[in-house]
Amino acid sequence: MKALIIVADVSYKGEYSMVVQALRQLGMEVSIGLASKTANINFNIDLTKDVSGDLLTSNDLVVFIGGYWAYYAATGKDMPGKVKSVVNREAFEKLLTQSISSGRITVLPLAVPAYAAKLGLLKGRKATVYPTTDLITMLRNNGVEYVNNDLVVDSNIITLKRATVESLTKAFSKT
């Protein structure tokens, strides 16, 4: 199986590294698309300028890593300077929309489900999110049924409350 990780921000400790570790433990071939000019990770697809073609076609599974950026982008709160990320929001949103609407297995950890809900991509679905009142409210206010579980699978969308190797391995093995 092939997996694509789309990275907007790696400021939330462990989110990115645990996803990579879990995918590799399951023997998946991993590609990394970087949509941030400030994240310092190894990647093989540059998404900081433009998204051309269909990057999703050759991948069985797509994971969206949002870090603190996803929290602040979803809630509209001001982002503190120390975590300010320069994200190609257009590329991130385009790929997120394509992944969900194409029926491709899409994994949304932590705050990313709230960001997807804000875009209207999870309306009528069940999801979990990192457990803060504002993120849970964001889901509910955008037509998403919040489920207080560590892992929620609704059709092609997998949402995770926390990013641990165990929960990610469990999520990816459901694919």
pLDDT tens-digit readout, 21-53: 999 988 999 999 999 887 888 888 888 887 766
Counting runs of H as helices and runs of E as strands, what totals does the chain give?
6, 9
Considering only CA atoms, which of 53, 128, 125 is closest in space to residue 33? Answer: 53
- Torsion angle, CA of 166/26/38/97, rounded to 10 degrees? -90
Q: How far apart are CA 102 and CA 143, in angstroms?
A: 20
Long-range Cβ pairs for the range 48-55 (8 Å, 24+): 48/88, 48/91, 49/88, 50/91, 51/90, 51/91, 51/94, 51/95, 54/98, 55/4, 55/95
What the block records as the tokens of 135 is 């993120």
Q: Tokens 């929001």 label which residue? A: 89
CATH 3.40.50.880 fits 2-173, yes or no: yes
pLDDT tens-digit readout, 46-92: 888 877 667 788 899 999 999 889 999 999 988 877 656 688 889 99
pTM: 0.93
Q: How far apart are CA 149 and CA 165, in angstroms?
A: 16
